[in-house]
Amino acid sequence: MRVYQFRHIDILLFYYKNIKKLISVPDEIITFCVIIRAVINEGLIMKIVYFDVENYEEEFLKENNDGKYTYFLEQNPLNDLSPIKKEYEDADIISVFTTSRVNKKVLEQFKNLKLIALRSVGFNHIDTDYCKEHDIAVVNSPGYGNITVAEFALALLLNVARKVTESYTDYKNGCVKPENLMGTELCGKTVGIVGLGAIGSAFAKIAHGLSMNILGFDKYEKEELKQNYGVKYTDFDTLLKESDFISIHAPLTKDNYHMFDEESFKKMKKTAIIVNTGRGELIDTKALYDAIVNKQIAGAGLDVLEKEETITDFDYIVGLNRLDKFTLEQTIINSQLFRLDNVIVTPHTAFNSREAIHRILRTTMSNINEFSSGNIQNNVIKI
């Protein structure tokens, strides 16, 4: 944990007039320390706690701190398996990544919380109902990774289609059999894109550059994609039946949970490959596993899984007796996917490029600055 206090003399002088109204001492004895204490105690500086902080994020935040806030950097995520540290309870603002699980039990521990600044687009890991009831604003970081995630989706697709990981593993083990490593080209094939928002649109443009035929499924049609990139919008069933490859870029809603279920996989080509960089909950993992094992589809590239937090979170792993039956079942199914040669699973890292991380952090800091100025940008709930 790192703590960075308000320290810039130019900002201190900016607050000087307000401070003189708050403390009754002559000018000559208003020392640096007195100013700091007065500013912090009277709430002129907001207290921020960043959770889920990686080393590269810490470096960026330190380099770009303008001294307006007292902030804490915490490497651990937020969850309800352990109480928050005492010094965090009076935080005005918290910032979290998707690895945190910010439910009611967690939120009740913050006595002065006004804003949750997400370093992500998605917010299904936040109890937004509680936030609405307690006037806590929630803002996200949209648009940071459109190209980054789209490129990663292509990387997953190429990896599975051309058997890159299998080739590497066999070569390393000295047992190369070319007939086992025969892949399939993307050029001229049909790719179905589920969700044509910013990321899905970026993926469509990449696919167009590879001379692929593009089917799209989204309730909103974009003329630019149809006219300039050859996207043909269609219904979900047609996309399932006609696509050689499917790339998922849809957000998770109450209506599309497990939209890829047992029946969906039965409609797909036996040679089809599915890629998911959207949300793990969009796929019924058990149905996917069965479809691959039974050769109903050819393979999968997955950057997200339902209940993916149980794979790497030590607190979840050692606390399995506290998990519900469904989570335990998902944990087992997820582990079985790793044993399949025609499946690539990555740790929710499609967002993780240097450029995208910097965009996330800049947007997060901008969101916080706007909020402290009385404005809310990138708001995801109405309070």
Catalytic residue among 119, 125, 249, 279: 279
CA-CA distances (angstroms) from residue 337 to 210, 265, 268?
A: 29, 16, 19
pLDDT at 23: 52
pLDDT at residue 104 is higher than 90: yes
More confident residue, 373 or 19: 373
Q: Is the pLDDT of residue 226 over 50?
A: yes
Could you report the per-residue pLDDT of 294-304, keeping only the tens digit for each?
999 999 999 99
Residue type for position 74 = E
Residue among 155, 153, 179, 185 at smallest CA distance from 167: 179
pLDDT over threshold 90, residue 74: yes
Out of 3.40.50.300, 3.40.50.720, 1.20.1300.10, 2.40.50.140, which CATH number does the structure's domain 146-345 have?
3.40.50.720
Residues forming CATH 3.40.50.720 domain(s) in the chain: 46-144+355-372, 146-345
Among 75-89, 95-109, 263-277, 330-344, the range with the most confident prediction by mean pLDDT is 263-277
In the sheet with 115-118, reading across from the earlier edge strand, the strands are 2-4, 70-73, 47-50, 93-96, 115-118, 137-139
Name 50's bridge partners: 73, 95
Residue with tokens 């630019």: 224
Residue 106: its H or E element: helix 104-107
Concerning whether 348 is annotated as a catalytic residue, the answer is yes
Q: Are 344 and 156 in contact (CB under 8 A)?
A: yes
- Cβ atoms < 10 Å from Cβ of 251: 15
The amino acid at 15: Y
CATH of 46-144+355-372, one of 3.40.50.300, 3.40.50.2300, 3.40.50.720, 3.40.640.10: 3.40.50.720
Which is the catalytic residue, given 57, 166, 281, 308?
308
Predicted TM-score (pTM) of this structure: 0.81
The single residue of 101, 119, 125, 348 carrying the catalytic annotation is 348
Does the annotation mark 258 as catalytic? Answer: no
Catalytic residue flag (residue 125): no
